[in-house]
Amino acid sequence: MFKKRLFSGILPALLFAVTLILLAGCQSSPTGPNTPQSSSDQQAMLKAVDSDSAIASFEPNYNEDQAMNILGKTATAIYPLKVGQKMRMVSRNFTYTMSGDTAYGTLSNTFEGVLYIVASYDSTSRQKDTVIQKPFTTVITRNIIFVRTGDTTLPQLKWRIAAISLPEGGTLNSNVVITKVTVFLSSGDTLVVTDPNSYYLSRGLGWWRAIPHIDRNKPVTVQVEISSAYADTDFVTLTNGGDLKGMHREKMKFDLISSTPNGNGYDKVYQQTFITHQWPGYFHAVINAFPKQVITDDSTPVESNSWGIPYFVKW
């Protein structure tokens, strides 16, 4: 009887001790609930990316959806009447590194596109004779800086975007490369960009540059410097103003200002001015550069380089 009572008294004590040990082990475990998991961090960052209007405004202006009017024609084998690109994002790759409460991410989107060229075989005609379709693939890259919010109510809210770089990319091989973009705002401010992925714009309070806020119906002059392997005038366009549904999108062709021989290529300067429309919100000005023969020859494969600049039209 004594042994039975002794055993019954020791067993609860042993169970209690084991429970304490297990609890202590859980609290000190590196996979405990207070340790951020990479999958949840990535999901939170991508959620922030998908919710950011400044980032989202790029694709509706990169994807022109249909052939759009261009200014003028070029007297070559075919005579373009309209040129436009239809882009479809087929994959997205996101990587990041963390340093304390800051994360540095790189977002690379792969697009499959079709360049549509509505053309005439007669230099004097405005009637469509053919529609040429050229498939191509591009990769557009943007860097993003995140900061931890401390919000533990929902996992997807624990990171917010602090700054975004400008997007840049194009086809794998291109002999026409944008090297510098200068934007002259109606306010008198000037933006000078030589490396889009290192040019950061703040998404809130921060020490980075602010996204340009522009009044409605104001002129914005964009100057583009290009390194080209070709003597002919390149086909450089500006697409801007499209909202998330592609509405209010406009497109125009840049004018060649100068061309200077440089080794085996040419340094060229193009310029154009667009007018902000009356609809407020975030938009992108997307610059696309193609060699002339991509547009005027039905068999030349697509080469392209693209930069994007977000801006906000004031209420």
Q: b vs e for 37-71, b when ≥16 Cβ sit within 10 Å of the residue's Cβ?
A: eeeebbebbbbbbeebebbbbbbbbbbbeebbebe
Q: How many CA atoms lie within 13 A of 189 on its CB side?
A: 8
Indicate the pLDDT class of residue 65, thresholds 50, 70 and 90: confident
What are the pLDDT digits (tens) for 141-175? 999 999 999 877 887 788 999 999 999 999 999 99
User: Cα angle vertex 310, ends 257, 239, to 5°?
Assistant: 50
- Please determine, for residue 35, whether its predicted confidence score (pLDDT) is greater than 70: no
Q: Is 0.85 topped by the overall pTM?
A: no
Strands lying side by side in the sheet with 265-275: 190-193, 176-184, 219-228, 265-275, 255-262
Paired with 145 in beta bridges are 104, 163
Residue 75: band (very low, low, confident or very high) from pLDDT cuts 50, 70, 90: very low
Please report, as a single letter, which amino acid is at residue 146. Answer: F
The model's confidence at residue 66, banded by pLDDT at 50, 70 and 90, is low
Query: Domain limits of the chain?
Result: 34-310
Q: How confident is residue 263, by pLDDT bands cut at 50, 70 and 90? A: very high
Distance, CA of 160 to CA of 149 (rounded, Å): 6
Confidence (pLDDT) at 81: 85
How big is the CA angle at 160 (ends 156 and 162), to the nearest 5 degrees? Answer: 165
pLDDT at res. 137 = 98
Confidence check: pLDDT of 206 > 90: no
- Name the band, by pLDDT with cuts 50, 70 and 90, for residue 68: low
Q: Give the other-Cβ count within 10 Å of 32's Cβ.
A: 10
* 137, β-bridge pairs: 112
Is residue 289 scored above 50 in pLDDT? yes
Mean pLDDT over 112-130 rounds to 86
Give the C-alpha separation, 304 to 312, whole Å.
26
Share of the chain above pLDDT 90, in %: 70
pLDDT mean across residues, the chain: 85
Please report, for residues 16, 32, 33, 59, the alpha-carbon distance to residue 27 in angstroms, rounded to integers and kept in the order given: 17, 6, 8, 45
pLDDT at 5: 41
Asked if pLDDT for residue 122 goes beyond 90, the answer is no
Identify the CA nearest to 179 among candidates 268, 284, 308, 286. 268
pLDDT of residue 21: 36
pLDDT, one tens digit per residue, over 87-118 is 999 999 999 999 999 999 999 999 999 999 99
Least Cα distance to 291 among 309, 265, 272 occurs for 265
What's the pLDDT at 24? 36
Q: Say which residue the tokens 């002999």 belong to.
A: 175
Question: 252: Cβ–Cβ under 8 A, 6 or more apart, which residues?
Answer: 71, 237, 238, 272, 274
More confident residue, 22 or 136: 136
